[in-house]
Amino acid sequence: MNIGIVCYPSYGGSGVVASELARQLGRRGHRVHVFSYETPFRLSHFEANVFFHEVEAPDYPLFRFPPYLLALSSKIVEVAREADLQVIHAHYAVPHTAAAYLAKQMLAGERRLPVLTTMHGTDITLVGNDPQFYEITRFSLEASDGVTAVSRSLAEESAETFRLRRLPRVIPNFVDAEEYRPRNNPALRARFARPDEKILLHISNMRPVKRVEDVIRIFARVNGQAPCRLLLAGDGPERLAASHLAEALGLQERVCFLGRQDNVAEIFPLADLFLLPSAKESFGLVALEAMACQVPVIASDTGGLPEVIEKGVTGYLAPVGDVETMAGYAISLLTDEREYAVMARQARERAVNRFRADPIIDAYEAYYGEILNTP
Ligand code: GMT
């Protein structure tokens, strides 16, 4: 198939999922054309069958805001003709589905170009933060030939928020279990912790929804009971507040901010526990990546996280903001070697059995086929 994928390139889950999907589809022999304003960071290596199209929005003095949506629609039309695109897969309704819909209409007289939209969760948050996007998001979803959501929780919430006529199909996120796997690297580990110390890890874009200060608060409690270190990878608006809190609690020597890291598959296996105390998470791809590396996760009981983390089996869940309970789970797990070993193994098993790439790529392929064959 010739498939177009539209996504955001930045450091965030939706761009990662779109890029990994492009890579996997390319390896299956599909020709995949990716559209974005810069190369998505997970597509920085050469992949046969994956072609990147940079969309540049003109910045003429007349335009107060560069018309990215129009530039994207035009680029989709050009590539659809040149590469004979059969389907467009938009990750995020705004503005990607709107642009794909426009391209579809522009091509209507000469070819069919069905549009599949995948919702990632922050699409809804966007509307929550700025209601002026409500109508365009609702229209984009209803006008799509197919809509998927990355968790059941997100499918239900989006159907209710946007009063959708059809429930989005749930196609969960996936992990490349070959790349995200346990690795033994004592030399690297020794750079962050002594052998008797545990490592707690958090990775995110450090936006307010991630509650990074809760990560520090959990760590402070755990460190009081079991000697440990905290690694934080990623960067964002909450980093400074988290760093100040660590300093105020006298933890600066034990907390290490690694900054933005692209190769996180090497960082996860250094950790004994992964912390994700977010206020909301439609899926929590980082939790899945941690589990695939055999690292149990302690997270908030919210959104799609309970669909990823099986409570008491692959990690623990607690109400949002309940750092006391989260720390309690962390302490009991880190101080019980037998329980820890079982949970770490189960985390990897669940990631591989339930979320490995192959069956999930099959589900996307099948959906492309369905919308292609539905007039
Ligand atoms: O979590 C982020 O800040 C990034 C965001 C995005 O839109 O790229 O992630 C969302 O999509 C990911 C991939 O489907 C999900 O794993 C994340 O849970 C989701 N983030 C939120 O719902 C806050």
Residues 197 and 102 in one domain: no
Q: How far apart are CA 258 and CA 12, in angstroms?
A: 17
User: For 142-271, where are the E strands, in sequence order?
Assistant: 146-149, 169-170, 198-203, 228-233, 255-259
Residue nearest to ligand 1 atom 12, measured at CA: 13
Q: How far apart are CA 125 and CA 19, in angstroms?
A: 22
Residues 163 and 207 in one domain: no
Q: Measured in angstroms, how far is the CA atom of residue 215 from the centroid of ligand 1?
A: 18
Please tell me the predicted confidence (pLDDT) of residue 302.
97
Question: Would residue 285 count as lying in a domain?
Answer: yes
Please tell me the predicted confidence (pLDDT) of residue 62.
85
Question: Would residue 302 count as lying in a domain?
Answer: yes
Residues 89 and 199 in one domain: no
Q: Are 315 and 297 in contact (CB under 8 A)?
A: yes
Question: Would residue 180 count as lying in a domain?
Answer: no
Q: Measured in angstroms, how far is the CA atom of residue 119 from the centroid of ligand 1?
A: 10
Question: Would residue 179 count as lying in a domain?
Answer: no
Residues 6 and 132 in one domain: yes
Please tell me the predicted confidence (pLDDT) of residue 63.
85
Atom number of ligand 1 nearest to Cα 123: 7
Residues 307 and 361 in one domain: no
What percentage of the chain has pLDDT greater than the value 70?
99
Please state whether 267 falls in left (phi above 0), alpha (psi between -120 and 50) or beta: alpha
Residues 111 and 250 in one domain: no
Residues 235 and 155 in one domain: no
DSSP line for 243-276? HHHHHHTT-TTTEEEEE--S-GGGTGGG-SEEEE
CATH number at residue 306: 3.40.50.2000
Q: Please give the tally of structural domains in the chain.
A: 2
Residues 28 and 102 in one domain: yes
- pTM of the predicted structure, to 2 decimals: 0.95
Residues 346 and 361 in one domain: no
Distance linking the first and last C-alpha atoms of the chain: 17
Q: Measured in angstroms, how far is the CA atom of residue 303 from the centroid of ligand 1?
A: 11
Domain that residue 88 falls in: 2-174+356-373
User: Beta strand 31-36 with 2-6: parallel, antiparallel or unpaired?
Assistant: parallel
Beta bridge partners of 111: none
pLDDT tens for 68-80 read: 999 999 999 999 9
Question: Would residue 313 count as lying in a domain?
Answer: yes
Question: Would residue 219 count as lying in a domain?
Answer: yes
Question: Would residue 309 count as lying in a domain?
Answer: yes
Q: List the chain residues with pLDDT less than 50.
A: none
Q: Are 293 and 352 in contact (CB under 8 A)?
A: no
DSSP 8-state class, residue 179: T
Residues 349 and 360 in one domain: no
Please tell me the predicted confidence (pLDDT) of residue 128.
67
Residues 146 and 9 in one domain: yes
Beta bridge partners of 88: 4, 115
Question: Would residue 363 count as lying in a domain?
Answer: yes
Residues 199 and 149 in one domain: no
Residue nearest to ligand 1 atom 20, measured at CA: 281
